[in-house]
């Protein structure tokens, strides 16, 4: 019997990393120090963090694949809420453990009623302790392992003498067991990208970043000072990330759309949907929604154009709700947004 026949067919997505409860509070004004602001209306409690948003979105899209969670929550009400939410969406939680050593991570999001500007107060909580050491990739039947967010997982971001970081070591173990790996990072204004993101790239099959993260990791300025997207720098950054070790493809997303470059040199550029300002309630989670559509398409082996179109439609769906996952609908409804809103003009001649 050949080795190919011995190996069980893998299916589904195991996602690990940040598990966060977002508490969105509408305020009348952002106060100066020692001053008062009024919280207006009810607090909206929502999902936060790469694996949480991704898996809930996949469940809402109706993805007919096994979904599994990995990470750490606290032994508290928020932790119970996350575990119950996963159970109600048929997401396996054997690898999503609860600890008494730290609270469940949460973010208080203060949103100004006029203008919608948001200020974040984040507690890293249990996410900071998660090292993924309890995952035995030989025992999971998942086909993909997604890890996010790099730069916001203290233990994962810490050094490993053989792999550079513990995140890179975990991704290497996933690949060695036969899984395809994908990563996402958090946007921060720092010079930590080269040190923390770069070591993970050689153990990553699908690198999915926004234009800021990709530019900082690869050393290119994709978003220019005047706010315009530099599509030449975009290509250079994607090529550089492949040269830094990404196995299959690099996906870079931005408000104007998304771009894929494959290891074989195929380029696909897709503009986003033309959503009128009146239909945009909140942009929180749009990047994770894009990632959801992309990974679903890659798992189902769609062509890259369909993957990208679905990804930008999923991001558009996310804009209709203040929370990260409240706007997600069935796959058919999400893909239908392309007919409703139409795509923006092409970002470049020939695309």
pLDDT digits (tens, 9 = 90+) for 181-227: 999 998 888 889 989 999 999 999 999 999 999 999 999 999 988 88
Residue 126 has pLDDT above 90, yes or no: yes
Mean pLDDT of 18-38: 94
Helix axes 304-318, 286-299, angle to 10 degrees: 150
Residues 308-343 have pLDDT tens digits of 999 999 999 988 777 777 778 988 988 987 888 777
Q: pTM score, two decimals?
A: 0.92
**pLDDT for residue 348:** 64
Strand (E) or helix (H) holding 92: strand 92-99
Domains of the chain, residue spans: 11-341
Distance of CA 185 to the CA centre of its chain: 7
**Dihedral pair phi/psi, residue 16, rounded to 5°:** -130, 160
User: Residue 2 — pLDDT band, cuts 50, 70, 90?
Assistant: very low
Cα–Cα distance for residue pair 280/298, rounded to 1 Å: 28
The CATH superfamily of 11-341 is Ribokinase (3.40.1190.20)
pLDDT for 276-320, tens place per residue?
777 677 778 788 999 999 999 999 999 999 999 999 999 999 887
pLDDT in tens, 66-89: 999 999 999 999 999 999 999 999
pLDDT of residue 351: 40
Q: What is residue 160's predicted lDDT score, i.e. its pLDDT?
A: 96
How many angstroms separate the CA atoms of 180 and 169, rounded?
A: 14
Query: Other C-beta atoms within 10 Å of 51: how many?
Result: 30
pLDDT band at 4, cuts 50/70/90? very low
Query: Does the structure show a pLDDT above 60 at 7?
Result: no
The per-residue pLDDT for 274 is: 78
The Cα 242–Cα 202 span in angstroms is 9
């Amino acid at each position: 019997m050949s080795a190919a026949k011995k190996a069980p067919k893998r299916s589904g997505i195991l996602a690990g990393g940040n598990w966060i409860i977002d508490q969105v509070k509408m305020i009348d004004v952002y106060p100066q120090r020692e001053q008062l602001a009024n919280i207006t209306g009810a607090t909206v409690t929502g999902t936060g963090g790469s694996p949480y948003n991704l898996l809930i979105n996949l469940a809402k899209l109706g993805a007919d694949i096994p979904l599994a969670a990995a990470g750490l929550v606290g032994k508290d009400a928020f932790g119970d809420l996350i575990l119950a939410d996963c159970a109600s969406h048929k997401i396996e939680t054997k690898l999503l453990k609860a600890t008494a050593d730290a609270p469940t991570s949460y973010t208080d999001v203060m949103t100004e009623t006029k203008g919608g500007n948001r200020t974040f107060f984040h507690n890293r909580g249990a996410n900071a302790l998660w090292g993924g050491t309890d995952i035995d990739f030989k025992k999971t039947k998942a086909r993909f392992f997604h890890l996010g967010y790099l730069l916001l997982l203290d233990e994962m971001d810490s050094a490993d003498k053989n792999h550079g970081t513990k995140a890179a070591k975990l991704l290497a173990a996933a690949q060695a067991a036969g899984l395809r790996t994908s990563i996402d990072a958090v946007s921060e204004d720092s010079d930590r990208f080269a040190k923390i993101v770069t070591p993970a790239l050689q153990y990553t099959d699908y690198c999915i970043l926004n234009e800021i993260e990709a530019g900082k990791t690869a050393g290119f300025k994709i978003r220019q000072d005047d706010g315009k997207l530099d599509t030449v720098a975009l290509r250079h950054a994607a090529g550089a990330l492949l040269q830094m070790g990404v196995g299959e493809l690099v996906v870079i997303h931005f408000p104007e759309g998304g771009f894929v470059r494959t290891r074989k040199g195929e380029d696909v550029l897709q503009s986003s949907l033309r959503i009128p300002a009146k239909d945009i309630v909140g942009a929180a989670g749009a990047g994770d929604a894009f990632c959801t559509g992309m990974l679903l398409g890659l798992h189902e082996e769609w062509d890259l154009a369909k993957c990208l179109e679905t990804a930008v439609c999923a991001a558009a769906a996310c804009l209709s709700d203040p929370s990260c996952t409240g706007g997600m609908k069935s796959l058919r409804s999400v893909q239908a947004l392309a007919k409703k809103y139409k795509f923006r003009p092409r970002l470049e001649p020939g695309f």
